[in-house]
Structure 1
Amino acid sequence: MSDGSKKNKIIKGGFYLTIVNTLSQFLAIAVNIVLARLLLPEDFGLVALTMTFIGFIVLFTNMGFGSSIIHETESTQKELSSIYWINLALSVFSFLIIISTASFAAVFYEEPKLTPIILVASINILLSPVFIVQFKLLERDLEFRTISIINLSGTLIGSIAAVIGAYAGLGVYALVIQALVSSAIRLVLTLYHKRWLPSFYFNFKEIKHMIWYSLKFKASKTALYFERNIDYLILGKFFSSVILGYYAFSYNIMYTPVKRISYIFSEVLFPSFSSFKNDKQKILRGYFKSVNLIALVSVPAMTILAFNADLIINVVFGNKWDEAIPIVRILCFAGAIQSVSQFGGIIFSSIGKPEVSMYVSIGRTILTASAIVLGVQYGVLWVAYFLVISKILSFILFLLVLNRHIPFSIKQLFFSLKGPLVSLISLSIIYILVSFEYITVNPSMLLIVMLIVAFLVLYIFDKKAVFGILKVLREKTK
């Protein structure tokens, strides 16, 4: 594939993933609103513990060799078949470990309800290896339109199943069903769109080089897992499932948009950066453009949510979530920072050095763990405050490591964040003026004023980027 056709395919892929993830984001928000009104804070806390425990076991029992398929760009039928069977075997092993240790998790967290929830949720472990090779082949070949259809369908049907389950009174199991149904739909659609079948063949020597890359990639993912989930691992021990539910709810409000936005870029950029792995400056330029596009949406959005949390949560989710409001206010700023730093690790994976991403994640994990250990001594709000500080330090750490491998100037970084920073400062000034009663407006009017200011700043400082997106949208809808 020529560079021109590859670039065009990447642009189209970015378009499709952007549209689908935008739709998925609105869908996720709508479903979270419904589920938050139907379920209890305790349900969200129990699911958070369940998913964290399962993820923790999978870290050490399943290598996840899919990344090597993308990095290799070309693989033989024998190599793919060997990867398929080793993935399947490790997933079965993971499943057996999880169901045999579920009761220990319940004892450790002093939550007897955890055992049956873990047993049901662990079924998801058996679904992934059935289609993961086919899905990674779609990613490797930049088939983002197909991937978009698969992901949106899984999210939609899984969400419908969760809402039906919640209305039927299934409680916490409605959230578990959501994940299971979503994976099942992705399995069926992936196998339909990618008609590849494994041969009854396995040869360790033929995939040794792929396994070595996957082990380095897995090490990076392991460190990243602890960075993102160590809060649940620790907080689940010190706080009740109800308080953990408030924290999980607040974290999801902050993290779901961040995850969706970053997912778009991660899914497009890892395979596309891998195809340009010998041109580091091209990767760097693509990264800063991506940072700009993410920040111009996430920074003002998270800031507006933080400053209007009372109004938004009471109106949208109901007053039973009032205790989550102060946590949301704080964690939104952590989300704004995380949105621009979260997907940066793909740069190291794309240039064949996923171990560097692992080192960065280890540093971030230490910062996050330190923040939580300090915070739990004073309460959940202090956990949130310290997490914001840890996110700032984590971003600085990443930039220092990135500069060592691909040198860049502070001017490049500032230029990519110029508009979002002005938006953050402008919105903060408005909030301070209203808080100290220099300006008197009701909560609804404050929200409207902030939205107007955010759009004005976006137009003034990122007009070119916005018009570029609109141009792509116009071309693709013709």
Structure 2
Amino acid sequence: MLKKGRKFIKEEKKDIKEIYRRFWKRDFSGNTGQAIKNSAYSFSTTLVQKIGAIIFTIIIARLLMPELFGLYSLALTTIGLFAIISDLGISSTLIRFFSKELAKNKPNTLGYYNHLLKIKFLLTFFASLILILSSYWIASIYYDKPIFYALLAGGLYLFITSFLSFFESIYQSFNNFKKSLMRESIFQVLRLIIIPLIIIFSLKFSENVLLLNILLGLSFCYLIALIFLFIKRPILSGKNLNKEQKKQVNKFILPLTAIALSGIFFVSIDKIMLGHFVSAEFIGYYAAAFSLIGAVMGFLSFSGALFPIFSRLGGKKLKKGLRKSVKMVLLASFIIILITLIFSPLIIKIIYGTQYSLSTNLLRLLAILIISEPLAAIYSNYYVAIGKTGKMVKLLISAALLNIILNYVFIITLLPRGNLAAVFGAVIATLISRYLFLFGLIVFRKK
């Protein structure tokens, strides 16, 4: 075991030296060089995104306080649920087929773009419409919380953000991750300036109006970022797809649709259920802790940069790339978890203030996700890249169903002991289901 550990450290030192050499000489040739370049821009984008998100979360959490922050988080989570419906794997499909086409002498990128854009528009339109029509029932009957206006504004928010991810996927297919970095920087600066001002001037209004103004402000920030993506877009060429090509694309989308639909319940079910059973301030405590863990996981999730490369590789090279990615994530994850477990009280106090002290132990427990989530993202992209999404669909559906059952059982069982106990129940249910999903991904990959 010790010998393997030394060998691993030796290999990592060699890889770090190679990365440094390539950066120093600006040598990004070959798949290795392209992966390093993509990862550098992807990491920079993630750095801007997560640092911006942390600063933004700190500001609005302190301005809104636990109850209003909980309502804001619940509204965004609900809108995010419908946002998943608006994509259903379209962005991943675009990256995969574009990457395959760009490896050819005469790529037909325009045909795939037109076909996927039509599907994307229909999905986004119906998702936004369903959200708007069901917003009153969700806010007033299911949650019984004042987020009705926010969900109405969510129809616009969803439409803009959905197309933002679609057009950004085009740049990623061309291995242009620099555009994503610039877009993210513009959005973060706008959000950090506009939203706090909106909150300050809207605190005198009702909770419904305050949350409405925040969602409209966020929609405006995303709209500016979307407009930026239209500047100097990649030139697409080719012709409309024939029936066989459309059938191939649609066949690839189907399992991704199942993944996305399962992902709705896998990712969002904890907050969705808590929104029905506990008061808003406890959702705020949970959201505060999860936001920090999400930011940390983002720094480790560079798998998006590897997806276009994975799509072009095969055999031993693909497996080698997967192994290296997993090793890098594991090494960093253990260090970060240890720091979080020791310093979580200080972290919560400095970042959010004493009002969020109940988030401390939630942060410690959620820190366990720092290992599972980045690894699951890498393995999921691996499955998609090799076109074998069937196994992943079965795993995700099973994990999603288990997550729903466990969340309901744990929340109901622990709710008599108080709202905070119910929140801990949701966290435990989430940890169990997500680790079982990761375990399944690892085991089924070898079969």
| Range class of TM-score, shorter chain | 0.7 to 0.9
- 1:73-131 deviation line (CA, Å, top 9, x unaligned): 32342442232233223322222221111111013334352210101122122224655
Say whether residues 1:399 and 2:442 are aligned partners.
yes
- 1:149-207 deviation line (CA, Å, top 9, x unaligned): 22232233223322222333355456535642442233112111315589998987753
Give the distance between the partners of 1:122 and 1:306, measured in 2 at CA: 39
**Cα pair distance change 1:115/1:202, threshold 3 Å:** farther
Query: Over the residues paired in the alignment, what is the CA RMSD in angstroms?
Result: 2.8
Q: CA deviation at 1:319?
A: 0.8
Of residues 180, 184, 187 in structure 2, which corresponds to 1:147? Answer: 180
Deviates more, 1:92-101 or 1:158-167: 158-167
Say whether residues 1:10 and 2:10 are aligned partners.
no
Say whether residues 1:273 and 2:306 are aligned partners.
no
Of residues 369, 379, 389 in structure 2, which corresponds to 1:344? Answer: 379
Aligned to 1:123: 156
**Cα pair distance change 1:261/1:161, threshold 3 Å:** farther
Higher relative contact order (CA 8 A, sep 6+): 2
- 1:342-374 deviation line (CA, Å, top 9, x unaligned): 332111100012232222212322343343223
- 1:20-57 deviation line (CA, Å, top 9, x unaligned): 32233222222222222111222332233323333434
Q: How does 1:14-413 map to 2 (within 5 A)?
A: 14-60=39-85, 63-72=88-97, 73-74=100-101, 75-128=108-161, 130=163, 132-169=165-202, 171-173=210-212, 176-177=215-216, 179-194=218-233, 207-262=246-301, 265-276=302-313, 278-279=314-315, 281-376=316-411, 377-378=413-414, 379=421, 380-404=423-447
Q: Which one-letter code corresponds to 1:393 in the other structure?
A: L
Q: CA deviation at 1:243?
A: 1.4
Q: CA deviation at 1:388?
A: 3.2
Contact 1:44 1:172 in 2 (8 A): no
- 1:387-430 deviation line (CA, Å, top 9, x unaligned): 334443333222111222xxxxxxxxxxxxxxxxxxxxxxxxxx
How much identity, in percent, do the aligned residues show? 21
Q: CA deviation at 1:272?
A: 1.0
Q: Which one-letter code corresponds to 1:87 in the other structure?
A: K
Q: CA deviation at 1:229?
A: 0.9
Q: CA deviation at 1:320?
A: 0.7
**Cα pair distance change 1:392/1:310, threshold 3 Å:** same
Give the distance between the partners of 1:29 and 1:61, measured in 2 at CA: 26
Q: Which one-letter code corresponds to 1:273 in the other structure?
A: F
Aligned to 1:456: none
Give the TM-score of the pair, scaled to structure 2: 0.80
Q: How does 1:405-444 map to 2 (within 5 A)?
A: none
Contact 1:16 1:148 in 2 (8 A): yes
Q: Which one-letter code corresponds to 2:114 in the other structure?
A: S
Contact 1:374 1:383 in 2 (8 A): no
Task: Give unmatched runs, 5+ long, in structure 2.
Answer: 1-27, 102-107, 204-209, 415-420
Contact 1:50 1:114 in 2 (8 A): yes
Task: Give unmatched runs, 5+ long, in structure 1.
Answer: 405-478
Q: CA deviation at 1:331?
A: 1.3
**Matched positions, count:** 398
Deviates more, 1:119-128 or 1:95-104: 119-128
Give the distance between the partners of 1:299 and 1:174, measured in 2 at CA: 40
Give the TM-score of the pair, scaled to structure 1: 0.75
